[in-house]
Structure 1
Amino acid sequence: MAFEAPFTRRRFLSATLVVGTALPLQKAAWGAQTDPALCKLSPEQEVGPYYLDDELLRSDITEGRPGVPLILDIEVMDARRCVPLVDAIIDVWQCDALGVYSGFTKNAPPPEPPPGTWQGGPGGLGGPGGQRPDGPPPGGQPPDQPPRGRGHPPGPPPKMEPSDHLTFLRGIQRTSRDGLVTFQTIVPGVYEGRTNHIHFKVRGTGSTHAASHVSHVGQIFFPEKLMVQLMDLAPYRDHRTLRTTQNDDPVFSRQQGLTSIARVAPLYGNDPAKGLRARIVAAVDPDATPVPVDNKVDFKTMPAGSVRE
């Protein structure tokens, strides 16, 4: 169900309306809902610098932004009871095909590489589509580029101040009785230091903003080979920023990104460029408060989980 009225999160959370927002989906296509493997607590991931606390209640968040169409299903499970988490509030936000977030469109973009230096393609540093006037880089490492795997420095990303009131590619919904929300969006692009991803939060089932604490912060990733393929299409290929691969993305590599790769299928035949449907399951403790994620911690060695209130 799509909501066209300009409801903000605060107006939405102050209301008591409970709605089923998920588009129809055959459960059999995704496996049994009572599978205990679906109830393993999902790892926490950082919120990032582009979250805004005033998103719209809606299922279609594209606002005409160009890109490969994506239907995104997020299924939320109560990890303690191993049942769908009903009436939870789900926030999503992402960049557009050129790596831009609404609310921050006037912020200065990363500087472009100096003329004559290695230009990475959709496959990352030195990946497919990259060009260099005098041939491939010696030893396989592009010149004038930071060592692989650096991304942004240790610690949480610096806070960004909003520059505008645009709202594209942001939205919230409540989970249905199946614990499901479905968003109509586009495949996200990339920006400096980050691979393709979509952010989401899981909030409690309270009817007011104060009563709905955050019980999970996560990020959704996509199959790497598919992203390499799609980033070679317009409008993604118009982005001159070097594409960061999953292995070079510190959030993916340090915060258990392998557990957060969505299952993806083409919407039309076998051509992913015409549209995709992606599905991910997030298992959360609705009574917990997540431990803030810090990139200085090696999350590969830490168990998934959070601190109970």
Structure 2
Amino acid sequence: MKNRHGLPLDPITCEPTFGQILSNRRDVLRLLAGVSLLPLVPAIGCGDDGGESGPGGDVDAGAGGPDAGAQSDWASGGTAAMTDKSSYPDPFTGALAACALVATTTEGPCTTESDLAREDVSEGWSGLPVRLALKVVDASCNPVAGMTVKIWHTNLEGSYSGQTPNNNMCLQQQDYSSQDFFRGVQTTDADGTVYFDTCFPGWYRGRAIHIHFQVKSETESYRISQLFFPEDITADIFATHGDYSAYGQPDTVFTTDNVMSQIPEAQRDRHILTVERMTDGAMLASKVVTVI
């Protein structure tokens, strides 16, 4: 059994063994992070305690996920586990009756200047594979072609990557500054759609799990915003999935998240992804986003 920092845990106390913790400099840094001497590190949770919250927040009691001991039906192993991708359905076949703008949200301090044009943004990281599908439309529900959609989010450890404006805050390990995992751009097709192959994000203190996105053209940024996963799905994954359960439940829910809580409750659905489990266990996560 290991904790969220990759350190072996004592099966009785659920604490890292002292010899393993001090085995090298990186492990020392991870230990400091676990006691809040380094930023952006969620609480350490033992693998069987998926129902506990992290520091500073309570788990949504109505999440409705399976018992922590249940085995997850979601796939693991990252995007390589998308073995049946050709069978995934088009999530945008339904007619759009109304298209309301998504709220503009903070860009945050964990951006990078690079625009990496690629569909698979995982860079080989493990985690629950996610096929992220976004359809960009205007207020009349017309698809908007030729727009650049940029996404960025954390790995399963709750860390961003790359050269950000605040690496001390955004990166759990400073060598992640030379990587660009879970960042990329795609251009909308004639139907206004883009697809990314990624993994379910991890959490860090004070934020509900989210994916940042920006829609822009060569000369203008139309919208910077964030997308969220249904809270019951998130609770299920962190209770039962082998890649995530050791991290414990996120310490922040929608009502305490400083971004989602500022969006009027009646408008929050515009920011919540629709998710579906595919035949190979991957997640298809989709959203129509109105930005113009």
The alignment's TM-score, normalised by the length of structure 2, stands at: 0.62
Looking at structure 2, the residues matched to 48 and 177 of structure 1 have their Cα atoms a distance apart, in angstroms, of 30
Q: Is the 8 A contact 2:270 2:289 kept in 1?
A: no
Match of 1:253 in 2: 261
Is 1:198 matched with 2:259?
Answer: no
Is 1:215 matched with 2:275?
Answer: no
Match of 1:71 in 2: 131
Is 1:53 matched with 2:113?
Answer: yes
Is 1:239 matched with 2:250?
Answer: no
Identity %: 30
Is 1:263 matched with 2:270?
Answer: no
Amino acid paired to 2:150? D
Looking at structure 2, the residues matched to 187 and 31 of structure 1 have their Cα atoms a distance apart, in angstroms, of 24
Does the C-alpha gap of structure 1 residues 172 and 243 become closer, same or farther in structure 2, counting only changes over 3 Å? same
> What's the secondary structure of 2:270's corresponding residue?
helix
The alignment's TM-score, normalised by the length of structure 1, stands at: 0.59
Amino acid paired to 1:278? A
> What's the secondary structure of 1:259's corresponding residue?
helix
Amino acid paired to 2:275? V
Does the C-alpha gap of structure 1 residues 98 and 262 become closer, same or farther in structure 2, counting only changes over 3 Å? same
Does the C-alpha gap of structure 1 residues 32 and 110 become closer, same or farther in structure 2, counting only changes over 3 Å? closer
Which runs of no fewer than 5 residues in structure 1 stay unpaired? 1-22, 112-160, 286-309
Deviation at 1:70, TM superposition (A): 0.3
> What's the secondary structure of 1:83's corresponding residue?
coil
Looking at structure 1, the residues matched to 278 and 88 of structure 2 have their Cα atoms a distance apart, in angstroms, of 13
> What's the secondary structure of 1:102's corresponding residue?
coil
Amino acid paired to 2:258? P
Alignment deviations for residues 164-221 of structure 1 (CA, whole Å, 9 cap, x no partner): 23100000010000000000000111101011111100002x3xxxx2x110111111
Which runs of no fewer than 5 residues in structure 2 stay unpaired? 1-85
Deviation at 1:108, TM superposition (A): 6.1
> What's the secondary structure of 2:121's corresponding residue?
coil
Match of 1:92 in 2: 151
Q: Is the 8 A contact 2:235 2:249 kept in 1?
A: no
Two-structure CA RMSD over aligned residues (Å): 2.9
Deviation at 1:237, TM superposition (A): 2.8
Looking at structure 1, the residues matched to 169 and 232 of structure 2 have their Cα atoms a distance apart, in angstroms, of 30
Amino acid paired to 2:242? A
Looking at structure 1, the residues matched to 216 and 175 of structure 2 have their Cα atoms a distance apart, in angstroms, of 23
Q: Is the 8 A contact 1:44 1:255 kept in 2?
A: no
Does the C-alpha gap of structure 1 residues 74 and 110 become closer, same or farther in structure 2, counting only changes over 3 Å? closer
Match of 1:127 in 2: none
Match of 1:230 in 2: 237
Summarize the alignment of residues 2-41 of structure 1 with structure 2, pairs less than 5 Å apart: 27=90, 30-33=92-95, 35-37=96-98, 39-41=99-101
Match of 1:172 in 2: 185
Greater helix content: 2
Amino acid paired to 2:116? L
Is 1:280 matched with 2:287?
Answer: yes
> What's the secondary structure of 1:72's corresponding residue?
strand
